[in-house]
Chains A and B, each alone.
Chain A
Amino acid sequence: MLYRTSGQFKTTYRSDQALFPIRQDAFLLGIILLFAWVILPASASSFAFQTLLIPVLIYALAATGLNVLTGYAGQLSLGTGAFMGVGAYACYKLITLFPELNLIVAVLLSGLFSAGAGVLFGLPSLRIKGFYLAIATLAAQFFLVWLFEKWGWLYNYNASGAIQVPNVSMFGIWVAGPQATDRAQYFFVLALVTVLTMVTINLTRGNLGRSWKAVRDMDIAAELIGINLLKAKLQAFAVSSYLVGVAGALFVFFWRGAAEPNLFNIDLSFRVLFIAIIGGLGSVLGNWLGAILIVALPVVLNTAPHWVGLDISSSTVEHVNVMIVGALIVFFLIVEPHGLARLWALIREKLIHWPFPY
């Protein structure tokens, strides 16, 4: 009933190909956007901004980037953490070399460096596939983190080897660095992530996305129908690394405030990969659901005992937390191996037929 599609007639190709052909979907998205843009920023505490809202946005963007590569183009990558690092270090160098540069421009430019690194390390994908490609991207992961450690110029020869985000203002408001307010940072991240997500959705629906999917499903067949594999794969690497790089720049500039090379190690790559897998490969919505499960849920679980007044030692909570999140991941993967996005798709289908299933 809630999701009744009858009566929604499409009379033009244009309306049939709209992003949300069903009215309820658009309505739902509208509500979510209203929450994201108005209600949450007005009501959230600094704790919620710093540990729930901003990290979920950033991780979801990173997972979207990885999903373009792994979910849409079928190329397994374990180098996400390092590509995020490239974005972060590029942004840091841009901001410290050209302090008058607008931060939006710097963040968007830093994605280009990461895209370049992605294309470079994506070259082996023309020869090798599957797990072997994963190993090649693993090389990128280790090499780049090593580079962040050893190349002093990248961190301005800081004695501690870490990068520290300077105070950056835009139109008279501090947007990055210790002086920035949570709200300003949140809006900045939200705006960029919204735009980039929209661009990604449209890319994956378009010509480019179709050629990626063809390559993913069967690369020989794709080649036979005239898709240039070299181009399609490298484009996927470029777009993916671009998004991941921007996410990395946001990660350091709008959330962490400081970063040591170790931050971008293999754990981060795995974390983003798990978000993409649990959320659902080959979907954009999945990245968001995955990020909520992996990033936000542990934080909420950590706070929950306090909130209901239970007095448990924090190390016990931490242990229990790891168990609960682990069990949930196993549960969701058993219930729906294709990820949370597929789970939502099934629910939605049931809702459309409800109350007269067939």
Chain B
Amino acid sequence: MKTMKRLALIGAAAAMGSAVAAQELYTPNLSYRTGPFAATGIPLMNGQRDYMLMLNARDGGIGGVPVDFEECETGYSTEKGVECYERTKDKALVTQPWSTGITLQVLPKTNVDQIPILAPGYGFSPMTDGRVFQWAFNTPATYWDAMSMILQEISGGDLASLEGKKIAHLHLDHPYGKEPLPLLEALGAQYGFEVLPIPVGISEMQNQSAQWLQIRRERPDFVIMWGWGAMNAGAITEAVKTRYPMDQFVGVWWSGHSDDLQLVGEDGKGYRSISWSLPNDDAPVMADIREHVVGAGNSLATEEEIGEVFYQRGVVISAILAEGIRVAQERAGKAEISPADLREGLENLNFTQARIDELGLTGLMAPFSTSCSDHAGHSGAWMLQWDGAKFVQASDLLQADQTPIEPLVEEKAREYAEANAPWPVNEACDG
């Protein structure tokens, strides 16, 4: 017991000692380069990191202030994530929780600690309601957007054509996988298609024979997958084994990792995944990264990885954050911003096509803008298709139909605020 006290004191001293004031923008990333999800985490984190390093090398940071893009390792464990959050929150401008579990833990604290959460394309879909979730951002699109766009694409643009069809929702049995279910069920009731939720427990990710047996028996017209980490590879190999038609199998953006498809190669041809980022090796920003970071030997990524969807998505994620910082600096009129300033910046993102080209992100992302009440932006997304060797663009930019989503967002956001009362709601914003 005595030792505990001593350790605690060391910890306390360490926490105090680290509060050094420096001229930098501290944007910690709760990364996971270890643990069961490392394979999907590493390319994303490398992309994020390399973009920030590139800004530091090319422009000397943002607005003249270098970015301190520190990683705090979580191994995708919620407990470690909270530890990282506590460790970084004194100086951090932003929290990048990188897991729906950590997001759920940190979200209620944001109103107290006043640090914005940036969860690009993940987290709790109702976070898009900026009136209720003043500090959380899930740009550029939510899981509910993803579900809406997937349904549009598989129905050929008209959801009514799905009537009488059966759609299986193969998902990780975790807050993340369950996230799109309320919308899918609501749409199923509206358009008369049958929804068949098939959960995959964390322990059975690699062996999904039971789930695929069920799919073979039920013969759903489409399988939509909300998978992550080892689950994607497991599902794709099982689908090949059971000869499920690949062109009826569609994944969310986290289920579009090239490595998972490389396992099956040709057999995976036709598999689709929705994505709000496109791989584009010719974008000027990629050339800058190759020159300033890879060329200088500072990148952790392999050459092959740099061309992949996930790495380039990581680049886009950091670009969104960097743009948020830039807008915040402009609005605050100073280079060294506070978390509250950054929130202001993230609320006023305006990624026009011209701005995207200016940043060198041409072809990597779609235009979107955020506002005080809309924290997602709903940029839309493309369908990517596996051609047997790599993912290629298979559709024009799709847009989610917000009509069924909006009331659902409002309802769930209100529920959340009520369950967590007292929860401040920003009534002032209506735009």
**A292 contacts the other chain (Cβ, under 8 Å)?**
yes
Known: A48-B12, A48-B15, A306-B18. Is A314-B71 also a contact (CB below 8 A)?
yes
Q: Which of A286-312 contact B (CB under 8 A)?
A: 288-289, 291-292, 296-297, 299-300, 302-304, 306-307
Contact A52 B8, beta carbon cutoff 8 Å: yes
- Name the one of A39, A258, A285, A314 contacting B108, with C-beta atoms under 8 angstroms: A258
Residues of chain A lying within 8 A (CB to CB) of residue B18: 306-307
Interface membership of B356, Cβ < 8 A? no
Q: A51-B86, A318-B75 are in contact. Are A32 and B108 (CB under 8 A)?
A: no
Complex Cα–Cα for A44 and B202 (A): 36
B301 to chain A minimum Cβ distance, whole angstroms, is: 14
Question: Is the CB of A47 closer than 8 A to any CB of chain B?
Answer: yes
**Residues of chain A with a CB closer than 8 A to B108's CB:** 164, 177-178, 257-258
Tell whether, in the assembled complex, residue A288 and residue B14 are in contact, meaning their CB atoms are under 8 Å apart: no
For the complex, is A46 an interface residue (Cβ under 8 Å from B)?
yes
Of chain A, the residue at the smallest CB distance from B101 is: A260
Q: Known interface pairs A149-B173, A318-B73. Does A296 touch B7 (Cβ–Cβ under 8 Å)?
A: yes
Minimum CB distance partner of B201 in chain A:
A149
Instruction: Establish whether residues B34 and A51, one from each chain, have CB atoms under 8 Å apart when the complex forms.
Output: no
* A263 and B104 contact, CB distance less than 8 A: no
Q: Give which listed residue, A32, A45, A149, A297, contacts B2 with CB less than 8 A.
A: A32
Known: A43-B12, A44-B12, A303-B14. A289 touches B1 (CB 8 A): yes
Q: Which of A48, A179, A302 has the most CB of B within 10 A?
A: A48
Known: A159-B181, A314-B73. A258 touches B104 (CB 8 A): yes
Which residues of B have CB within 8 Å of A178? 108-109, 111-112, 420
Q: Quick one: which of A32, A51, A179, A300 has the most chain B CB within 10 A?
A: A51
The distance in angstroms between the C-alpha atoms of A257 and B12, with both chains bound, is 22
A160 to B180, CA, bound (A): 9
Q: Convert B1-24 into 0s and 1s, putting 1 for each residue whose CB lies closer than 8 angstroms to a CB of A.
A: 111110111111111111000000
Residue in contact with B104 in the complex, picked from A39, A162, A304, CB distance below 8 Å: A162
Q: Report the minimum CB–CB distance from A25 to chain B (whole Å).
A: 12
Which residues from chain A contact B75 at a C-beta distance below 8 Å? 318
Q: With A44-B8, A52-B8 in contact, do A159 and B86 touch (Cβ < 8 Å)?
A: no
Interface string of A259-293 (1 = CB under 8 A from B): 01011010000000000000000000100110110
Assess the A161–B175 pair: CB atoms within 8 A: yes
Contact A303 B109 (CB under 8 A): no
Asked if B404 is at the interface of the complex by the 8 Å CB criterion, the answer is no
Q: How far is the CA of A285 from the CA of B82 in the complex (A)?
A: 28
A263 neighbours in B (Cβ, 8 Å):
78
Given contacts A164-B108, A256-B105, A285-B1, 8 further A-B contacts (CB under 8 A): A28-B2, A36-B5, A50-B83, A161-B174, A289-B3, A306-B18, A307-B18, A314-B73
Q: Sorted from nearest, which 10 A-B pairs have the closest CB atoms?
A: A178-B108, A160-B175, A315-B33, A47-B15, A314-B73, A307-B14, A318-B73, A48-B12, A45-B15, A292-B4
Residues of B in contact with A (beta carbons under 8 Å apart): 1-5, 7-18, 31, 33-34, 70-73, 75, 78-79, 82-83, 86-87, 89, 100-101, 104-105, 108-109, 111-112, 124, 173-175, 178-179, 181-182, 199, 201-203, 412, 419-422
User: Can you offer 25 A-B residue contacts whose CB atoms are under 8 A?
Assistant: A40-B9, A46-B86, A47-B86, A50-B82, A52-B7, A52-B11, A53-B8, A159-B412, A160-B124, A160-B179, A161-B178, A177-B420, A256-B78, A256-B82, A258-B104, A260-B101, A260-B175, A300-B14, A303-B87, A304-B14, A307-B13, A307-B17, A313-B71, A314-B73, A318-B33
- A residues with CB within 8 A of B: 28, 31-32, 35-36, 39-40, 43-48, 50-53, 56, 149, 156, 159-162, 164, 166-167, 177-179, 256-258, 260, 262-263, 265, 285, 288-289, 291-292, 296-297, 299-300, 302-304, 306-307, 313-315, 317-319
